[in-house]
Amino acid sequence: MRECFEVRDTDGAGRIGELSVPRAGVTVETPALMPVINPHLRTVDPAALESDFGAEILITNGYILYKSEAFRERALEEGLAELYDFSGAIVTDSGSFQLSEYGEISVTNAEILAFQRDIGADVGTPIDVPTPPDAGRERAEADLETTKSRIEAAESVDVGGMLLNAPIQGSTYPDLRESAAAHAYGTDLDVFPVGAVVPLMNGYRYAEMIEVVRAAKRGLGADAPVHLFGAGHPMMFALAAAAGCDLFDSAAYALYARDGRYLTVSGTDHLDDLEYFPCSCPVCAEHTPAELRSVSETQRETLLARHNLHVSYRELRTVKQAIREGSLFELLERRARSHPAMVDGYRELLDDAAALERSDPVSKATFFHLSADSARRPEVERHHDRLGRLSVDGDRVLVSAGGDNSRFDETWRLREPFGPVPPALSDTYPLTAERPERLGRAGYEAAAEGVARLAAANPDTEFAVAHWGWPDSALDRLPEAVETLPLGPESDHPEDG
């Protein structure tokens, strides 16, 4: 067990956790947002982040402080908490970003770790090597070896109670990400940032981002807090949290504001294009877009940044509430509809329903079947797995969407997208799912797969399926030995009951 992190609630791979940060003397509830503070450009003061937005944690760049004539000595003398007037946890980055941008930096791994310790950082970072997406395999491997050696070196540095990040690199190679994560998890470092994914997010390559996160998660234990490095747009918080990310950092709130851009949970708008604000935060309640366009540039930037923070924190609370009540997948279905690339990200996540299923609670809020993707949720996978292990009593079993029939020894209910429902389980989650009357084909097909699993587990039993107008694509998925009895006015259907 990693002592600094405890998982309290789960929904799929999403979780609410507690990150204990001993140096700051605080416990941060996750998923948490860490606003990025640029010491030279404080768009919103850290004290205001704490008082107005409830920020418990922020992140700043240790390398910029190290290089800054204005702040270096002050940071060493006063410590970060006083320099920033912030009582929560302060995470520092090491200059890896500058390294990837400019090719070199003028500090060693040991020096920057000691500097982070000496300025009172609560979570510090060794200098990893961020390898961008699509890099050649040889380069990704070589960079990763350097990152691994920096992480190992960090283990032996006296960090005086500071927690340490163990960044996970490996570009877009899932096997490298997984082995990097396993290596990092094997050290005694504490927090696990998945690095160099910003180009994927900026390019709307959400499916690949999820693939990278899933690979990293395979190498980590469930007790590892995961930071999705550079993820600051609220539109992808639900998706990233559902993949098991616990920490996000946002420079977006300030960078986008500088550009006149307005964040929402479904994308980005430009202030120039808005006639109405689709938000009720204090900024949007007190101003119209026209008013915001007419104030000074500095004031506009601050107000937009404050709106961007409000919408980000509100989305995090929405995500946490969804995890708590077990409706994260329903939230994700809504968020995924905001952009085709988000649909891809969601589908990539569902591709590994087994991994989601491991931490998914057995019972939660009513399952809402909302789209073809709902038929691929982990709850459906879990029910199918159960059907594959169930043995039935009778020689002849009817799986019926209508009534019982005395020709059969036993009648089970047929419920899409799950398939056969044993009589004893018909009132239990998730089999009580709410479904639209006009169910799509995927729901029927998933139910047919459930029948096939049950039939395969009971080869000596004869099965029949009584269904209301299943499409051919679902009927084709039934084993040949399964009899089909269409229900309806002209059918030779089982007795009603």
What residue ranges bind Zn ion (CB under 5 A)?
A: 279, 281, 283-284, 307
Rounded to a whole number of angstroms, the minimum distance from the CB of residue 493 to Zn ion is 56
Nearer to Zn ion, 231 or 257 (CB): 257
Is position 93 annotated as part of the catalytic site? yes
> Could you tell me the smallest distance in angstroms from the CB atom of residue 345 to Zn ion?
25
Which of these is catalytic: 9, 45, 93, 190?
A: 93
| Alpha carbons 187 and 141: distance in angstroms, whole number | 19
- Which residues fall within 8 angstroms of residue 79, CB to CB, at 6 or more apart? 119, 120
| Alpha carbons 461 and 329: distance in angstroms, whole number | 36
| Residue 283 to residue 263: CA distance in whole angstroms | 13
229 or 253, CB closer to Zn ion?
253
The shares of helix, strand and coil residues in the chain, as percent rounded to the nearest 5, are 45, 20, 40
Instruction: Tell me which residue of 123, 104, 120 sits closest to 20, measured CA to CA.
Output: 123
At closest approach, how far in Å is the CB of 283 from Zn ion? 5
* Tokens standing for residue 291: 């008013």
Of 98 and 264, CB closest to Zn ion: 264
- CA atoms 412, 414, 419, 423: torsion sign: negative
Phi, psi (degrees; rounded to nearest 5) at 449: -65, -35
430 Cα distance to chain centroid: 22
Nearer to Zn ion, 315 or 360 (CB): 315
Closer CB to Zn ion, 136 or 282, in the complex: 282
Minimum distance from CB of 80 to Zn ion (Å)? 30
Choose among 349, 355, 354: nearest CA to 373. 349
Query: DSSP strand E in 245-325: where?
Result: 247-250, 261-264, 267-270
Q: Smallest distance from the beta carbon of 262 to Zn ion, in angstroms?
A: 8
Residues with a known catalytic role: 93
